[in-house]
Amino acid sequence: MPSDNLMQRLRDLRLCTQRQIEACEPKVRRLCHDLPDFDSVWLDALVQHRVLTPWQVDVLQSDDPERLRADEFNLQDAIGANTFRGASTINQQQAVLRQMSTDGDAERFQLRLTDLLERIDEVRHTTPVTLELPRRLIFRNDENVYLASHHVAGWSADELLIRGGRIPWKVVAEIGLQLLAAMRWLEGNQLRHGHVV
């Protein structure tokens, strides 16, 4: 079995169940043969079983594994600068969590973000269907504040190019039109857009 320390981390962060760890045991036996089963082997097996992501393993082995957790969300991958994909431990719903910088004044920052979310909620019903806006604030501590929004699954532009080669001009035009419509809506509602993906 994994070390007590690793088991405690996995349990505290709610990253996997006892059953998922037990399911990895045959893989660990094959990988180790007669050698000791180090935690790194267990982590590799959990990645191969798609219980953990390689990014989660890197963070688990860092000095601050607690940053894998933001309220009820387990962060699963870094998908941009200070932007993470996470899953709720309550209903497994995927979310995008954008870590915000408080610039030292957490109370004033919280008021500004609360005001921003209230402004967004007032105009949310007019939002273009192609635009996903933040829905809530998550506070991990005074220095770690996240804006959470629904995760829209799909391929990035890089993945589309790799999978399909050149993208037809009509598709490029549609992507451009949707992007322009979203930016026009944001600017029309005096909402700054510093991170559009």
Position 100 pLDDT exceeds 90 = no
Average of per-residue pLDDT across 12-27: 88
**Cβ contacts of residue 182 below 8 Å, gap of 6+?**
128, 130, 131, 196
Average of per-residue pLDDT across 65-85: 89
Rounded to the nearest integer, the mean pLDDT of the chain is 85
At residue 27, the pLDDT reads 85
Q: What is the pTM of this model?
A: 0.76
Distance between alpha carbon 21 and the CA centroid of its chain, in Å? 23
Q: Is 46 exposed, middle or buried (0-12, 13-18, 19+ CB in 10 A)?
A: buried
pLDDT band at 78 (very low <50, low <70, confident <90, very high): very high
Average of per-residue pLDDT across 148-156: 84
Q: Each residue of 21-41: pLDDT tens digit?
A: 889 888 888 877 777 668 888
For the chain, what's the residue count?
197
At residue 116, the pLDDT reads 83
CB-CB neighbours of 136 under 10 Å: 11
CA gap 48, 28 in Å, rounded = 11
Position 44 pLDDT exceeds 80 = yes
Position 197 pLDDT exceeds 60 = no
pLDDT band at 196 (very low <50, low <70, confident <90, very high): low
Position 110 pLDDT exceeds 60 = yes
pLDDT band at 141 (very low <50, low <70, confident <90, very high): low
CA gap 135, 94 in Å, rounded = 13
**Between these two residues, 36 and 188, which has the higher pLDDT value?**
188
